[in-house]
Amino acid sequence: MDEELIGFFREPCSQCSVVNWGVTEEGGYYCKSCHNVIERTVEVTDPSCVTGSRVSAISHGAKKPAKQKHGKDWMVCEGFQFILKQQAEALLAMGVRPELKDDILCNFWRGYLHKSQQAYTTKPLYSVTSQQESDSCPESLAASELSCLSKAETESDMDGARSTISGWSSDGGRLSSVCTEALDSSLYCSARERRMHHLMTMPMTLAFLHLSLLWLQEAITLADLLRFTAEGHIPYINAYQNFPEDMKLFGRDALIFRVESLPSYKMVQEEAHNLAIFLDLPRFPPLTSACLLHPSLLCLRYLMELNLPDELHVWVCWVMQQAGVGKDTFLTYDPWAEKSGLLNYDILASALIVVTLKLLFKLDDQQEWCLSNSADDENKQNQDSSIFCFRKWYKTVQGALVVAKEAEEQAMARKSWKSQKPVYPSMRNKSVVIKRRRVVEQLQAQFQKLTGSDPQPRQDSPSSFRLRWGEEDGGGPSYQGRRLGSAVKKRKGSARPSNPTYWHTALSSCKPRHCTDHFLEMEDSLPRSYVSVLGMVSFLLGVQETHVHAEVCLLERLLFKRPCQPRTKTSHGSRRKK
């Protein structure tokens, strides 16, 4: 009987702030942790005051507790389905075509459930043997799965969605405890099981999104996807907060759904590739030059973002042709093709730009500054500044990047990771966890009052561009319309870069599993201007420099595709341009 009374009374103790009430024989409440006996009173929760003030006594009759609240039984995959649905809706809100959710993602998800034997199967991975309807369960789940994603637009209201999402039919008789974890969460806790059955993880939700976006050939690259996730435009951190009321997280669920970091680019890419193989996906639709994911169009976007002149685009396309990376046979993703992984289109595009810059300006800490001097001279002669000057560009972009990096760091420092609704690892810890949450909230409220700051910081709308140029509040003047000037020479009717040589690092490829990249060990020996251009590009994409560098090396290998002698890793080969 204590349980009932206590369940109703959830005020923190005035002495120790713990919610851990017991009822004495006289019917009074006492705090189990500090043995503070209180009168049967209701406390007004006033965050400005710890002890609060007692306002009125409540009668015994009113204390009859309502029927105990408990969640329905649910499966972990339902939770992930809910998260995927929310993420897909967020993407739709950004302007992605609606087919993403209803056709592609939904089909991928169904395929996944089937392949991993979680639904649409006669032999489910987890079966409730204690229940009579065990054989009918997967069917009902399947039915609900079907309805969920495809019908969601008709059931716009939350209640409708809820009824279908946790459609696991169950009568409440089996439920006795207040908190239940998902039925099959124990499966997810062993790494072996997870690997064997290819069970869901939080990073896999992003892999799903990435694959569907790729199938649809939407303009959102993986780098964009990760950035939107980090900025909170796509629900990921604490996505479980928005679960419907009857899906209560408890215990081991926390290990599955709680995230404390964002997955890296590489990780999601690998997950996506593995998923594509697991789902047995066919060759993706061919990626033609009209698609936004095509490098030539992506390059345009990155040129704009890097504040480089549009004239460079011709050269980028030329490099793309030479390397043979513009063809749809190269670009289209086929999970079953030999030696194929997922292409990183965004990194490829930015590597193209880096190679083009190396082609025109050499980036060896000498040539580019000489060219800048001659560009300055030309500008002086013409009395304007229509010629692109590498030095000016470098100063502008570097300055803006430093500011942007600092802002990013500050945003990271202010980032909130913890959920409003904490998950209790066990019943025993519940009071402690609740108390911590409450203390944090009280402290935050107190300091917000002290500083007079806004509790909910303003969130910018999602944008493809991180830096803006040529606007009032932008990073600096725009160099888009500038001409390349003396960096390009006309010879025999065709344009040639005036820079005669091109340097590159060793072209021989390393063994794939033995050594991954040599960027860190040779970073010091590389020209500074090259490293800073890599830094700019990698900051824009949110990946590490080494990835961009590896992509540049790959491109160079494709460009100079003749059998070459092995070189030492750190020496700079220098060869005449073909």
Partner 1 sequence: MYATCVTLKFTRRCGEAARIADRFNRTVRPSPALGGMITNGCMLKSFKVTEEKGNPLPPQREKKPKTSPCVLRCGTAYGNLLAMDDISAEWMTSPVRDCGSDNDVSNDDDDEDDEEEEPIRKRSKWPDLPIPAPWYGETSKETGFHRSSRLCLNQIRECLLEHRWQEAAEYLISYFQTLEEISTPRQLLATEIIFRLGSEILHQHPNSKLEDVNHFFDLMKNTGVRGYLKISLEHSFHLLLTGNFDDAVRQLTTAESWRYGKQSAVQADKMKLIHAYRGFLSYLSWISKKGSSSEDDDGDVSAIQEMHTYFRQACISLQEILKLPGVWDPFVVGYVNMLEFYNDHEGALNVLKEYAYDSRFPPNPNAHVYLYRFLKRQGSTEKKQIRVLKILGALVPSHELMLELFSLLLESGTEQSLKEALDVLFNLLDDCSWKHSVAAWTCFRNMIKLLRRKKLKHLLEEGWETRKDWWPAFHFRTYHARADFQLSRQLLLMKVVVASTLVGNKCMYCRRKNELENEREARRMIKTHKKRKR
Q: Minimum Å distance from CB 202 to partner 1? A: 12
Decide whether 280 or 521 has the Cβ nearer to partner 1. 521
Burial 308-321 (b: 16+ CB within 10 A, else e): bbebbbebbbebbe
- Interface positions, 464-523, toward partner 1 (CB under 8 A): none
Decide whether 134 or 410 has the Cβ nearer to partner 1. 410
- Site size for partner 1, by CB under 8 A? 44
Report which DSSP code applies to 124. Answer: -
- Interface positions, 142-181, toward partner 1 (CB under 8 A): none
Gap between the Cα atoms of 103 and 150, Å rounded: 8
Stretch that binds partner 1, among 217-225, 280-288, 434-442, 490-498 (CB under 8 A): 434-442
Q: Minimum Å distance from CB 398 to partner 1? A: 22
CB 495 within 8 A of CB 322: no
Gap between the Cα atoms of 432 and 396, Å rounded: 52
- Interface positions, 250-269, toward partner 1 (CB under 8 A): 260-262
Decide whether 516 or 574 has the Cβ nearer to partner 1. 516
Give Cα separations from 301 to 84, 295, 304, 354 (angstroms).
28, 10, 5, 14
Residue for token pair 């066919």: 282
Stretch that binds partner 1, among 17-25, 113-121, 281-289, 382-390 (CB under 8 A): 17-25
Q: Minimum Å distance from CB 409 to partner 1? A: 6
Q: Minimum Å distance from CB 279 to partner 1? A: 28
- Interface positions, 389-428, toward partner 1 (CB under 8 A): 409-410, 412-418, 422, 425-426, 428
Binding mask 280-319 for partner 1 (x = CB under 8 A): ----------------------------------------
Decide whether 136 or 429 has the Cβ nearer to partner 1. 429
Binding mask 33-72 for partner 1 (x = CB under 8 A): xx-------------xxx----------------------
Decide whether 442 or 480 has the Cβ nearer to partner 1. 442
Q: Minimum Å distance from CB 538 to partner 1? A: 17
- Interface positions, 352-371, toward partner 1 (CB under 8 A): none
Count CB atoms within 10 A of the CB of residue 376. Answer: 15
What amino acid occupies position 228? F
What does DSSP say about strands 21-23 and 29-31: parallel, antiparallel, or unpaired?
antiparallel
In the list 5, 9, 18, 90, the residue contacting partner 1 (rule: CB under 8 A) is 18
- Cβ-proximal residues to 116 (8 Å cutoff; 6+ apart), any chain: 125, 197, 198, 199, 278
Burial status of residue 70 (CB atoms within 10 A of its CB: 0-12, 13-18, 19 or more): middle
- Is 433 a binder of partner 1 (CB under 8 A)? yes
Contacts 24+ apart (CB under 8 A), 311-314: 311/388, 311/482, 311/483, 311/484, 312/353, 312/356, 312/357, 312/360, 312/484
In the list 127, 374, 442, 464, the residue contacting partner 1 (rule: CB under 8 A) is 442
CB 546 within 8 A of CB 519: yes
In the list 431, 498, 529, 538, the residue contacting partner 1 (rule: CB under 8 A) is 431
Decide whether 191 or 450 has the Cβ nearer to partner 1. 450
Decide whether 136 or 416 has the Cβ nearer to partner 1. 416
Decide whether 410 or 508 has the Cβ nearer to partner 1. 410
Residue for token pair 């290998």: 557
CA angle 311, 314, 318 (to 5 degrees): 150
Stretch that binds partner 1, among 283-291, 351-359, 361-369, 433-441 (CB under 8 A): 433-441
- Cβ-proximal residues to 126 (8 Å cutoff; 6+ apart), any chain: 75, 118, 183, 184, 187
Please list the residues that pair with 573 across neighbouring strands. Answer: 504
Decide whether 60 or 415 has the Cβ nearer to partner 1. 415
- Is 196 a binder of partner 1 (CB under 8 A)? no
- Give the DSSP letter string of 477-505: ---TT-B-GGGEEEETTEEEES--EEEE-
- Is 450 a binder of partner 1 (CB under 8 A)? yes
- Give the DSSP letter string of 317-343: HHHHHHHT-SSHHHHS--TTSTT----
Give Cα separations from 416 to 192, 228, 241 (angstroms).
32, 15, 14
Q: Minimum Å distance from CB 444 to partner 1? A: 5
Decide whether 54 or 577 has the Cβ nearer to partner 1. 54
Q: Minimum Å distance from CB 33 to partner 1? A: 5
Decide whether 316 or 423 has the Cβ nearer to partner 1. 423
Contact footprint for partner 1 (CB under 8 A): 16-18, 20, 33-34, 48-50, 260-262, 409-410, 412-418, 422, 425-426, 428-429, 431-433, 435-437, 439-440, 442-444, 446-448, 450-453
